[in-house]
């Protein structure tokens, strides 16, 4: 399809960026992997942002995460601000570089160009006029075949009005046993090749992460796919982040206006106006759990709109996940229906409105939606979102537990990923589904956290776009991917 990158498979640790605090500098364009992408130069601040980063983030850890992100992006402008002119940078190889050498070697096809960089176990300490951060960093260099882990130390000192990195030292850790560092990619690749032929001409995008080893595999992992209701999981997290910041309370009761009623699926919309008041907690449960479109639109509107949600995602480094429209707008755009009217709030009525549109109108809407980059995510970004949620990077623990409970108790998508689980396994997940238009389903998705009976955990995202398979068969594709992911664990 036009505007889509070619299919790709990667085995790497996804970059996960909890507690990122930054402010954007002017946008610049950078060419990476053959595609020109717009990027923001990020500068760290010792202030809490307006988008709900956990209040306990150590300021020196924030700086280190910003440095790691700038290094990953080959963002020399940000690094120039973060690195002191008298920097001593001791690499794990024993080579010591100056600031000028570090900047010269960043990206650009050099020996230190990164495919992935995942920090872990970061601890920051303040010592008078210095700050020290220690931690682990799993990196995948473009020039090397496999990722490896460093134990490193950052030393920050005040230089004028800002804190800058004055010393860095890294030691490469021994490679872990092979049984812990990889998924059986041959199993996944073979099954995805078979399933891709089955769903053609639709697209199948998958990302799988073994949380114990950090090993990640993807097919079309960096291609954008329509989110549909998958966006309600990050929306739920965003709403709970606003609760954590004190901007709203779970017990706040909101009255739903007619302009906030969304197209089906929406039991809240169907029950309106007989019932028109819901608490914030009820709306989160209905949106992230039951996938109610009106619940989602009310939360989205009252918390700042799609732009606020997308800004919050980007504040956590989730650059390939975006929300641009309400359900009220998206569902009419995707189906070719006229602007939504509240009288269409029940399923049978809205379906009749969609079917009443000329075939050419519906076909054109389907084609536009297939190529629309709005309201999309990549499978890798979906996995990164779930990983950050589970690791506690997005929310205080009480709200993380609350959202994962909602996502575990949901009854949506019973024939998708859940159907592929072995006995005794559980899944906290969020589905997304588009309406069938002229026999084609523009999106049928499922992402989540799987906990196996032995305690091992997988994060998985499956996106299926543009398939003409019958309902039972397209649902079964998700279950088959899930079975393959479990088999792939070594």
pLDDT of residue 108: 61
pTM recorded for the entire structure: 0.70
H helix or E strand, kind and range, residue 80: helix 76-82
User: Bridge-partner residues for 204, per DSSP?
Assistant: 464
Written as six digits, the tokens of 153 are 């130390």
Residue 278 token pair: 């819901």
**Which residue in the block uniquely carries the two structure tokens 């088959």?**
480
* Alpha-carbon distances, residue 297 vs 50, 102, 323 (angstroms): 21, 46, 12
Q: Is the confidence at residue 12, as pLDDT, over 50? A: no
Between strands 35-39 and 426-433, the pairing is unpaired
d(CA 50, CA 71): 25
Bond into 201 cis (ω within 30) = yes
Please give the share of the chain, as a percent, with pLDDT higher than 90.
Answer: 70
Place of tokens 């920090």: 119
H-helix or E-strand containing 333? Answer: helix 327-335
Distances (CA, A) of 140 to 11, 14, 116, 117, 147: 9, 10, 5, 6, 4
Task: Give the lowest-confidence range in 4-8, 77-81, 278-282.
Answer: 4-8
Residue with tokens 């002191």: 84
CA angle, residues 344, 234, 451, in degrees to nearest 5: 115
**Interstrand relation of 444-451 and 457-465 (parallel, antiparallel or unpaired):** antiparallel
Check pLDDT > 50 for residue 26.
no
pLDDT tens by residue, 69-86: 888 888 899 999 999 999
Query: For 267-276, what is the mean pLDDT?
Result: 97
Distance (Å, whole) CA 390 – CA 350: 37
User: What's the mean pLDDT when you consider all of the chain?
Assistant: 86
CA distance 305 to 244: 18
Confidence check: pLDDT of 411 > 50: yes
For the four alpha carbons of 345, 351, 355 and 361, in that order, the dihedral sign comes to positive
Task: Phi first, then psi: give them for residue 464, nearest 5 degrees.
Answer: -125, 120
Tokens of 127: 């010592």
Query: What secondary structure letter does DSSP report for 293?
Result: H
**Could you give all domains of the chain from N- to C-terminal order, each with its CATH number?**
9-172 (3.10.450.50), 185-488 (3.40.710.10)
For residue 335, the SS3 value is helix
What was the pLDDT predicted at 176?
53
Q: Tens digit of pLDDT for each residue in 368-397?
A: 999 999 999 999 999 999 999 998 889 999
Buried b (16+ CB within 10 A) or exposed e, 437-453: beebbbbbbbbbbbbee
Q: How many helices (H) and strands (E) does the chain have?
A: 16, 20
CA 292, CA 269: separation in Å to the nearest integer? 9
Distance, CA of 116 to CA of 202 (rounded, Å) = 28
The answer to whether 261 and 255 have CB atoms below 8 angstroms apart is no
pLDDT computed for residue 38 by the predictor? 37
Q: Is the C-alpha dihedral spanning 199, 410, 322, 82 positive or negative? A: negative
Q: Among 260, 244, 94, which Cα is nearest to 172's?
A: 94
Q: For the residues of 24-58, what is the DSSP string, one character each?
A: E---EEEEETTEEEEE--EE--SS--TT---TT--
pLDDT band at 17 (very low <50, low <70, confident <90, very high): very low
Report which DSSP code applies to 338. Answer: P
| Owner of token pair 């989205």 | 300
pLDDT tens digit sequence for 220-257 = 999 999 999 999 999 999 999 999 999 999 999 999 99
- Which whole number is the average pLDDT over 401-408? 97
Structure tokens at 347: 């399923």
Answer left, alpha or beta for residue 352, where phi above 0 means left and psi between -120 and 50 means alpha.
Answer: alpha
Q: Burial-class residue 197 by CB neighbours within 10 Å (0-12, 13-18, 19+).
A: exposed
Give the integer Cα–Cα distance in Å for 334 and 119: 39
What residues are paired with 462 via a beta bridge? 206, 446
The two beta strands, 83-90 and 162-172, are: parallel
């Amino acid at each position: 399809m036009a505007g889509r990158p070619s299919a790709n498979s990667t085995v790497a640790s996804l970059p996960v960026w909890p507690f990122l605090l930054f402010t954007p500098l002017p946008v610049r364009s950078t060419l990476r992997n053959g595609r020109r992408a717009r990027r923001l130069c990020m500068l760290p601040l010792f202030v809490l942002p307006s988008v709900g980063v956990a209040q306990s983030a150590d300021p020196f850890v924030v700086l280190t995460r910003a440095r790691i992100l700038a290094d990953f992006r080959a963002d020399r402008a940000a690094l120039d601000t973060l690195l002191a002119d008298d920097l001593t940078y001791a690499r794990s190889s024993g080579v010591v570089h100056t600031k000028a050498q570090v900047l010269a070697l960043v990206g650009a096809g050099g020996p230190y160009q990164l495919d992935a960089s995942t920090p872990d176990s970061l601890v920051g300490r303040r010592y008078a006029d210095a700050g020290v951060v220690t931690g682990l960093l799993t990196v995948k260099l473009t020039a090397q075949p496999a990722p490896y882990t460093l134990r490193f130390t950052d030393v920050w000192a005040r230089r004028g009005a800002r804190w800058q990195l004055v010393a860095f030292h890294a030691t490469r850790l021994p490679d872990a046993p092979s049984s812990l560092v990889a998924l059986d990619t041959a199993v996944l690749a073979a099954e995805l090749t078979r399933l891709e032929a089955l769903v053609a001409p639709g697209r199948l995008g998958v990302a799988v992460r073994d949380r114990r080893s950090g090993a990640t595999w993807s097919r079309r992992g960096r291609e954008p796919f329509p989110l549909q209701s998958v966006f309600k999981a990050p929306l739920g997290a965003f709403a709970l982040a606003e609760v954590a910041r004190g901007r709203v309370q779970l017990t706040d009761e909101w009255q739903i206006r007619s302009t906030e009623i969304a197209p089906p699926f929406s039991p809240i919309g169907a029950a309106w106006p007989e019932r028109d008041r819901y608490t914030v907690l009820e709306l989160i449960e209905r949106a992230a759990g039951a996938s109610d479109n009106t619940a989602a639109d009310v939360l989205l509107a009252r918390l700042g709109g799609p732009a606020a949600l997308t800004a919050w995602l980007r504040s956590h480094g989730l650059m390939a996940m975006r929300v641009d429209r309400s359900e009220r707008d998206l569902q009419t755009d995707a189906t070719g229906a006229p602007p939504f009217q509240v009288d269409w709030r029940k399923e049978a009525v809205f379906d009749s409105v969609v079917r009443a549109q000329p075939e050419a109108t519906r076909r054109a809407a389907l084609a536009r939606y297939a190529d629309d980059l709005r309201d999309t995510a990549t499978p890798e970004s979906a996995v990164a979102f779930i990983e950050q949620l589970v690791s506690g990077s997005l929310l205080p623990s009480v709200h993380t537990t609350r959202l994962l409970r909602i996502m575990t108790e949901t009854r949506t998508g019973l024939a998708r990923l859940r159907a592929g689980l072995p006995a005794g396994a559980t899944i906290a997940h969020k589905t997304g589904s588009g309406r069938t238009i002229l026999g084609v389903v523009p999106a049928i998705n499922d992402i989540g956290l799987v906990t196996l009976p032995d305690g091992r955990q997988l994060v998985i995202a499956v996106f299926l776009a543009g398939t003409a398979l019958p309902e039972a068969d397209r649902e079964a594709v998700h279950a088959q991917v899930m079975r393959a992911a479990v088999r792939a664990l070594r």
